[in-house]
Structure 1
Amino acid sequence: MIHLAPVAAELTADESAELFLDLVFRHHGLPESIVSDRDPRFTSAFWTRLFERLGIHLLMPTAAHPESAGQTERVNRVLEDVLRRYATSFASWSPFLPMAEFALSP
């Protein structure tokens, strides 16, 4: 299952944590694993240690094999395609996220 939210281009670690609590934890509790790209917010010592303490396995591609980021990249590509079909401009895509989330969730 995926969760989508409109956010600023740059998020702090605190903002990322708030989104995690609001979009994931509130609905599902603690996940067993999270698939992510190598975003510094998830590779920082803080997030690494937090996930270890919570027993969450963070699945990230290795730097030597970036092609294993395929799952995240595929979702991003399909999301862009779906939003292009609904939104008339980049500035108007956020109202369509709930429909895109529904369409992309298994």
Structure 2
Amino acid sequence: MSLDFVFDLPAEDKGNTGILVFVCSLSKMYHLAPVRDKITGKQAAQLFLDSVFRYHGLPETIVSDRDPRFTGAFWDTLFQMLGTKLTVSTADHPQTDGQTERVNRVLEDMLRIVCAEAPRFWSDQLPMVKFALTMRRQADVDQPG
């Protein structure tokens, strides 16, 4: 499982300005959670449990960048309690988390369009954005090599 944030979206009616992106390394399934820019590690962990754990169970490894929300004491405690480990990409080698970075690039392109049309309601469009991401991924898989 890999996770990363996409921020700098326009503030919408619920106060969200970003998305926490989860990507399952095995299924390539995406999970998108709208977040505020002041999200804490504890809140991110709760989103992980609510948005990901119930579908995928406990991954052996979770990959993230070095965002302090992913490297703080709460995450260390959570991973220790759950018996998993956090692997962070090195500061000079963010492509360690390449899977999520690729998803984020496509997601950011889609969100620019959504935010241009509905800047105060973009989080309401996340189910459709997730569907479009999934269909795009499936089209990539189905292409003859």
TM-score, normalization: structure 2?
Answer: 0.61
Residues 36 and 59 in structure 1, CA contact (< 8 A), matched pair in contact too:
yes
Alignment partner of 1:65 is 2:65: no
Percent of paired sites with the same residue: 60
More strand by share: 2
| Residues 27-106 of structure 1 aligned to structure 2 (within 5 Å) | 27-87=55-115, 88-105=117-134, 106=137
**Could you report, residue by residue, the CA deviation over 1:40-73 in whole angstroms, capped at 9, with x for unpaired residues?**
1111133134224423232321123234343332
| Residues 12-31 of structure 1 aligned to structure 2 (within 5 Å) | 12-31=40-59
Amino acid at match of 1:12: T
Residues 33 and 56 in structure 1, CA contact (< 8 A), matched pair in contact too:
yes
TM-score, normalization: structure 1?
Answer: 0.78
Aligned-partner Cα distance in 2 for 1:27–1:65:
30
1:8 is displaced (CA, Å) by 0.7
Alignment: residue pair count:
106
1:9 is displaced (CA, Å) by 1.0
Residues 42 and 74 in structure 2, CA contact (< 8 A), matched pair in contact too:
no
Note the residue ranges of structure 1 that are not aligned, 5 or more in a row.
none
1:11 is displaced (CA, Å) by 0.7
* Distance verdict in 2 for CA 1:63–1:102, change over 3 Å: same
Residues 83 and 96 in structure 1, CA contact (< 8 A), matched pair in contact too:
no
The answer to which structure, 1 or 2, has the higher relative contact order (CA under 8 A, 6+ apart) is 1
Note the residue ranges of structure 2 that are not aligned, 5 or more in a row.
1-28, 138-145
Residues 41 and 72 in structure 2, CA contact (< 8 A), matched pair in contact too:
no
Aligned-partner Cα distance in 1 for 2:43–2:51:
12
Secondary structure, aligned partner of 1:4: strand
